[in-house]
Amino acid sequence: MALTDSSTGQPSLAAQATGVELAGTSPLKRRSVRPLPLIGKVVLWLILIAFGLLFLYPFAWLLAASLKPRGEVFDNALIPHTLQPSNYATVWDQLPLLSWLGNSLVIAVLAAGLVTLSSSLVAFGFAYFRFPGRKLLFGLVLATMMLPGAVTLVPQYLIWKNLGLVGTWIPLFGMNLFGSAFYIFLQRQFLLGLPRELFEAARIDGASYLGLFRRIVVPLSLPSFIIIFLFEFQASWNNLQGALVYLNGGSPSNFTVPLGISYAMTTFSPTNGGHGDYQYVMVASLLVTLPMLLLFAFGQRYFIEGIATQGRKG
Amino acid sequence: MTTAQVQGPAGTDAERLKLLQRRAKRFNRREAVAGFLFISPWIVGFLVFTIGAMLYSLVISFTHYNLATGIMRPAGASNYANLLSDPDVALSLGNTLFYAVLAVPLEIVFALFLAMVLNRVGRGAGVFRTLFYLPKMTPAVATASVFLLLLNGNTGAINTALGFLGIQGPQWLIDPAWVKPSIVLMTLWGVSGTMVIFLASLKNVPKDLYEVAELDGAGPVRRFFSITIPMISPTIFFNVIVLTIAALQVFDQAYLLFWRDQGSSAPEASLFYGVYLFQEAFRTFNFGFAAAMAWLLFVIILLITLVQTRVGNRFVYYEAENS
């Protein structure tokens, strides 16, 4: 079932990677029931365009506000009356934005890289090897996906505290050494789509188990590696609570992007003695969103495929 | 999956013999050891950061834990008794449940609606799918900082737009009655994850079902309720469960809009369970109480999921998955 990407009807990434498409699994020809009458088509397109504009509006508003002087932020004009691009330079001077972006980048790359590697090793263990208790253990992996994060928040903090690592970045990616349930599930699905003969042949040629991982799993799993890496990169980039718990109270230059923006929101807020310079907050928000949009531009199909897989695990 | 692999190559007699031998041996020792080694990172993480952490949290919940001195004093069940006597626990729990009841159905309906429109449009849907997905890529902090301004009761764009329609918009972030709808609005803007899951599921509904129904004279409404809904019911069920668990833990938006600094513009209506737990743990360092709160949340989420599963099993049409 992992062989066809149901969202696009194309052969799945696993099938593409191996060039294998099992007979009989190709999707039914996807023709719509009956061509819609013209009026129906027009209505559908109008709905789409209306919602499209609605979804885009906050982005346009954000961009416009980031270019306005303080007094005009709330005029809601999408084309600023007074263009003030110097906001960007001012923010750059007033906030350690470059540090935040750099910190978040380092943490996100470490988090994503580690979790990709560890989850793939674990997934390979579950997908290829036969050992007692495998089903039960994999059931536990799936069960932990449903475990609310709030339950382990306090004890995990205390564990890192006892290790003397609170205030460092390590708690923000350290757990990724141990694999993560959804990614293990995703990678296992992917590996089950590879023909077992591939591994058996390599075994006969004398490859060790680690050799199988290095020479077969790694090169062929590039698509699912990308999915896992992108998902975790995004999750790490957005991780506000973790940063609040482990980095808050330290020096602002040590903050990550979410903590930094939260800090900026407070700094410029009039209730905190700021002047309500929301245009600066808008600039900062825009600058930290851009990397995510770039990521999406590069990996859109991987994000969509990953999300669709999430739906199929139920 | 394993059965499929075992049955797959059973072609020639020699292969079948090999298969029988393999079954007789059950597990190859070397292979089993290697398998355990490969999954060992997860086992360690599970024992320490999941099971270990949960047990640790259970212990803490029966103590008064002083972070500064690292001393745990036994507290008996007093933390749990305080769950009942602290009015903020009931308040935050009520807020959170109310939010979940409001948010989850709206998310489901809106996501399904968008997915069905995209599914029907065919060509050109890709562009809009991309467009609808952009909010999902936007960090929560950026979403919150924009919506903080868009939702401004006096000058925000949303109330200005309502004004054009002759509607006097509410004080979204101040009026207690509008605090949850504000957060729901932000959540709906980022609903595209759920939408993509629905879209994938809709594409899997066999088209011939619709053709037959149409020949039988079923109209679009009938086709929706008699074919679409039953065929995608496992996906609806899945989305309801996942979104409910997420809604019960709502934190980022509530924290950013209301609890970033000391005062909240609507302190009672915006106190969600996740926020209160966070404050108890990391603002007042009341770890014993916070741990008890976490366990209560765990039990509540477990119960709700169990009830949903019970109810779900009655309505979900699993045939769709087997075909």
For residues B256 and A243, give the distance between their C-alpha atoms in angstroms, rounded to a whole number: 13
Task: Out of A42, A65, A91, pick the residue that ends a domain.
Answer: A91
Task: Flag whether A142 is in a domain.
Answer: yes
Q: Tell me the average pLDDT across B187-193.
A: 94
- A117, A187: one domain: yes
Strand (E) or helix (H) holding B71: strand B71-74
In a domain? residue A124: yes
Report the C-alpha gap between A127 and A195 in whole angstroms.
11
- Within a domain: residue A198? yes
Looking at the structure, do residues A294 and A264 belong to the same domain, yes or no? yes
Backbone angles phi, psi at A31, to 5 degrees: -105, 145
- Domain residue limits, chain B: 2-60, 82-322
Chain B contact present for A196, CB below 8 A:
yes
Rounded-to-integer distance, Cα A160 and Cα A171, Å: 7
Domain coverage including residue A44 = 32-91
Tell me what percent of the residues of chain A surpass a pLDDT of 90. 69
Computed over every residue of chain B, the mean pLDDT equals: 88
Whether A257 and A239 share a structural domain: yes
With an 8 Å Cβ cutoff, are A155 and B39 in contact?
no
In this prediction the pTM is 0.87
Contact A62, A285 (CB under 8 A): yes
Query: For the segment B48-76, what is each residue's pLDDT rounded down to a tens digit?
Result: 999 999 999 999 999 998 777 778 889 88
Return the closest-CA partner of residue A311 out of A214, A193, A191, A182. Answer: A182
The pLDDT of residue A272: 65
Q: Are A181 and A145 in contact (CB under 8 A)?
A: yes
Same domain, A119 and A66: no
Nearest by Cα to A7 from B238, B235, B85, B33: B235
Alpha-carbon gap, residue A108 to A230, rounded angstroms: 10
Q: Which of residues 110-129 of A touch B (CB under 8 A)?
A: 118, 121-122, 124-126, 128-129
Q: Structurally, what CATH architecture does the domain formed by B82-322 represent?
A: Orthogonal Bundle (1.10)
Are both A59 and A118 inside the same structural domain? no
Residue A253 resides in a domain = yes
A271, A313, A185: which is closest to B200 by C-alpha?
A313
Residues A205 and A114 in one domain: yes
Residue A305 pLDDT grade (very low, low, confident, very high; cuts 50, 70, 90): confident
If you average pLDDT over residues A60-80, what whole number do you get?
A: 91
A269 plus A162 within the same structural domain: yes
Q: In one letter, which amino acid is A255?
A: F
Say whether both A237 and A289 belong to one domain: yes
Other CB atoms closer than 10 Å to residue B71's CB: what's the count?
10
Q: State how far the Cα of A171 lies from the Cα of A148, in Å rounded to an integer.
A: 18
pLDDT tens digits for A256-296? 999 999 999 988 887 766 678 899 999 999 999 999 999 99
User: Among residues A91, A111, A129, which one ends one of the domains?
Assistant: A91
The tally of domains found in chain A comes to 2
- A266 domain residue, yes or no: yes
pLDDT grade, residue A6 (50/70/90)? very low
Q: For residue range A150-207, what is the model confidence (pLDDT) as tens digits?
A: 889 999 999 999 899 999 999 999 999 999 999 999 999 999 999 999 999 999 999 9
- Residue in chain A nearest B121 by alpha carbon: A44
Asked if A66 contacts A283 with a C-beta cutoff of 8 angstroms, the reply is: yes
Residues 88-107 of A with CB under 8 A from B: none
DSSP secondary structure letters along B305-317: HHHHHHHHHHH--
Give the pair of three-digit tokens for residue B9: 């190559």
Among A51, A152, A292, select the one facing B54 at the smallest CB separation. Answer: A152
Contacts of A250 (CB under 8 A, 6+ apart): A167
Question: Are residues A243 and A103 both part of a single domain?
Answer: yes
Q: How many CB pairs under 8 A join A and B?
A: 305
Which ipTM did the prediction report? 0.86
Find tokens 């069940």 and name the residue: B77
pLDDT at residue number B16: 72
Which positions in chain A touch B118 (Cβ < 8 Å)?
48
B63: contact with A, CB 8 A cutoff: no
Mean pLDDT to the nearest integer, B149-177: 91
Answer whether residue A38 is part of any domain: yes
pLDDT digits (tens, 9 = 90+) for B292-309: 999 999 999 999 999 999
Query: A104 and A170 share a domain?
Result: yes
Q: Could you tell me the CATH number of the domain that includes residue A176?
A: 1.10.3720.10
Residue whose C-alpha is closest to residue A13's, from A263, A223, A208: A223
